[in-house]
């Protein structure tokens, strides 16, 4: 790990912390520690306004190059921003898919016209994005997508038909980046396109999926002759897999440190409850808390190793990044189990109608999904074996 913070970086840390302290007030004070996975239903309109407040202060897209409207922050300063953001209890970002995934992908692979069209809305916090990858028959196996895109020469537009599922925040989004098959005879990762699709149009229908937590941050999205402008395909037809894999590399960027600060906030809440109800005196619970603390530190050190290594501008993954999803999702699921055990019998009860879950009850239920979405644990192990250990896909048995 080569990541270290200079005096200039620490001055930047103070600037970030001071701005957050000054602005997480008034109508935004109630947003502290709210939002994010498992809590996306909380204060959606206020969090949209918070995105625009961040933009006014120059705190969106801090890692984007200055020529594209960002601050051009170093890796160290980006780490500081995400850490201080989570430490301040600032709300889960409704613009994170645009800022962290769509924007960097358009910068890396898009045309100047696409960059001029889409980046300003992400920077200003006024346009939100969702991710059109998973389908009913293509979840962890992304190369199995069936959604099709054909080019209509008369309308000079791409026409998209198919279904996406588990689409986070689709009901709040203005745009969706969609993986669709441009060659109907193609199989696996060949013949795919990466499209930038407007959500507010007659050919797009969003249906919320109610989760075990009673909330609906995931959605089904149906494309029925949805239109996409001719020049809103990123790269050429057939380049979709390359662009999609580049995007997944950006997903494992500096925001991982902010994610870990959110995990720390959750662990702190578990410890607070354990101290309040006396469960901290149980040796087994104390050991599990200590293990969660130690593994969270390991997660941080691996992320620092990942961030301080060589990385491509196209989002290509390093070896260290291959294990990240498997590690954090398993850790988070285990934290949820610890949380409900710390709550004891009270964790099995809801006080009264409307029977809203406590923070730790919601954590316990929601983290079951962590080891499934974004590539299940089984798929992650296959990727590690094939790309990290360079094992053959099909073992040759003697």
Among all residues, which ones are annotated catalytic?
Answer: 251
Separation of alpha carbons 225 and 393, rounded Å: 37
Instruction: Point out which residues pair with 304 in neighbouring strands.
Output: none
25 burial level (CB within 10 Å; 0-12, 13-18, 19+): exposed
Identify whether the C-beta of residue 147 lies closer than 8 Å to the C-beta of residue 219. Answer: no
Identify whether the C-beta of residue 92 lies closer than 8 Å to the C-beta of residue 266. Answer: no
Residue for token pair 């196996």: 141
Q: What b/e string do you get for 272-309 counting C-beta neighbours within 10 Å, with b at 16 or more?
A: ebbeeeebbeeeebeebbeebeebbeebbebbbbbbbe
Angstrom distances, CA of residue 285 to CA of 282, 331, 348: 5, 16, 18
What token pair was written down for 330? 């398993």
Q: What is the DSSP letter of 71?
A: -
Q: Which residues contact 244 (CB under 8 A, 6 or more apart)?
A: 133, 142, 179, 192, 194
Identify whether the C-beta of residue 110 lies closer than 8 Å to the C-beta of residue 234. Answer: yes
Instruction: Point out which residues pair with 161 in neighbouring strands.
Output: 148, 224
């Amino acid at each position: 790990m080569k990541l270290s913070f200079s005096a200039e970086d620490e001055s930047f840390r103070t600037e970030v912390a001071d701005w957050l302290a000054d602005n997480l007030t008034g109508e935004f004070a109630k947003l502290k520690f709210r939002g994010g996975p498992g809590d996306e239903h909380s204060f959606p309109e206020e969090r949209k306004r918070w995105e625009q407040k961040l933009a006014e202060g120059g705190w969106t897209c801090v890692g984007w190059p200055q020529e594209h409207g960002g601050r051009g922050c170093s890796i160290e300063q980006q780490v500081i921003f995400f850490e201080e953001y989570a430490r301040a209890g600032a709300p889960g970002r409704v613009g994170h898919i645009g800022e962290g995934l769509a924007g960097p992908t358009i910068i890396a692979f898009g045309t100047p016209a696409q960059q001029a069209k889409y980046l300003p809305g992400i920077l200003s916090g006024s346009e939100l994005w969702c991710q059109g990858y998973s389908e009913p028959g293509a979840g962890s196996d992304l190369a199995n997508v069936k959604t099709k895109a054909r080019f209509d020469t008369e309308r000079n537009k791409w026409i998209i038909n198919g279904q996406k599922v588990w689409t986070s925040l689709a009901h709040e989004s203005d745009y969706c980046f969609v993986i669709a098959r441009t060659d109907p005879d193609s199989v696996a990762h060949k013949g795919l396109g990466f499209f930038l699709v407007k959500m507010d149009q007659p050919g797009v229908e969003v249906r919320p999926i109610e989760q075990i937590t009673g909330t609906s941050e995931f959605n089904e999205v149906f494309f029925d002759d949805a239109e996409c402008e001719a020049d809103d395909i990123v790269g050429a037809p057939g380049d979709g897999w390359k662009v999609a894999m580049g995007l997944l590399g950006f997903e494992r960027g500096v925001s991982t440190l902010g994610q870990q600060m959110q995990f720390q906030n959750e662990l702190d809440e578990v410890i607070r409850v354990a101290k309040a109800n006396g469960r901290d005196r149980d040796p087994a619970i104390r050991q599990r808390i200590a293990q969660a603390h130690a593994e969270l530190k390991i997660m941080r050190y691996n992320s620092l190793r990942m961030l301080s290594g060589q990385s491509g501008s196209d989002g290509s993954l390093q070896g260290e990044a291959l294990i990240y999803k498997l590690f954090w999702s398993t850790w988070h699921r285990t934290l949820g189990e610890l949380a409900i055990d710390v709550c004891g019998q009270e964790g099995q009860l809801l006080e009264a109608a409307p029977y809203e879950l406590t923070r730790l009850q919601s954590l316990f239920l929601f983290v079951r999904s962590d080891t499934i979405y974004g590539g299940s644990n089984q798929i992650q192990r296959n990727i590690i074996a094939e790309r990290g250990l360079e094992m053959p896909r099909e073992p040759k048995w003697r």
